[in-house]
Amino acid sequence: MPELPFPLPPLPTVSQVVFLMIAVLAVLGSLAVVLARNLFHSALGLVAAFFGAAGVYIVAEAEFIGVSQVLVYVGAISTLIAFAIMLTRGMMFGATSPRNRQSGTAAIITVLTFVVLMALTRGIPWPHAGEPIVDGQLIIAGLGHAFVNEYVVPFVLLAMLLLVALAGAIVVARDRK
């Protein structure tokens, strides 16, 4: 390909632009979770934040965890939260504000947590850009092998826990005749 006749000014790369858009979505969604007047709108904000997190994973070339994030958090957990909100509060009648007098304290704690997390993450030696990325197929295969070899006991225990929860839910919800 031919050379440009003039040097280009330093432009943001495509992935930086995409990351910024996703980050804005995640931050706005998270703000909606805490600031919305209506509890169901908070749940919708949570969905947007989950999508933002999945987008960040995908920009970081971690497709599997990004897609799993959507599958588990948007598909299952958000639906569960939406159901719980609709069935427990008087949601059909007007707005229900989840805010109370502790907002100030909560804001201070949030800022402190953010500062601590930032300080912690800055100290970690992250792998730098430009390092070779492992093929997605190999990552998934490795994950599968790890589940049934090294981590088989935790894996089976988790499965048992889910099974017990499932059976328990059926027993609790069963129609007693």
Using CB under 8 A as the binding rule, whether residue 34 contacts another protein is answered as no
Using CB under 8 A as the binding rule, whether residue 56 contacts another protein is answered as no
Residue 136's closest CA among 33, 53, 57, 48?
57
Give the number of residues in contact with another protein, rule: CB under 8 A.
35
Using CB under 8 A as the binding rule, whether residue 91 contacts another protein is answered as yes
Terminal-to-terminal C-alpha distance of the chain:
78
Cβ neighbors of 64 (< 8 A, separation 6 or more) are 136, 139, 140, 143
Q: Report CA torsion sign: 59, 60, 63, 67.
A: negative
Q: Distance between CA atoms of 177 and 174, rounded to whole angstroms?
A: 9
Q: What is the dihedral of CA 71, 72, 76, 82, to 10 degrees?
A: -100
Contact call for residues 96 and 90 (beta carbons, < 8 A): yes
Task: Please state the closest distance from residue 100 (CB atom) to another protein, in A.
Answer: 23
Q: Judged by CB under 8 A, which stretch of 19-27, 68-76, 107-115, 156-164 contacts another protein?
A: 68-76
Nearer to another protein, 64 or 151 (CB): 64
Name which position in 10, 90, 92, 121 contacts another protein (CB under 8 A). 92
Using CB under 8 A as the binding rule, whether residue 146 contacts another protein is answered as no
Nearer to another protein, 79 or 110 (CB): 79
Name which position in 63, 98, 147, 155 contacts another protein (CB under 8 A). 63
Residue ranges binding another protein (CB under 8 A): 1-4, 8, 13-14, 38, 40-41, 44, 47, 63-64, 67-68, 70-71, 74-76, 78-79, 82-83, 86, 91-92, 135-137, 139-141, 177
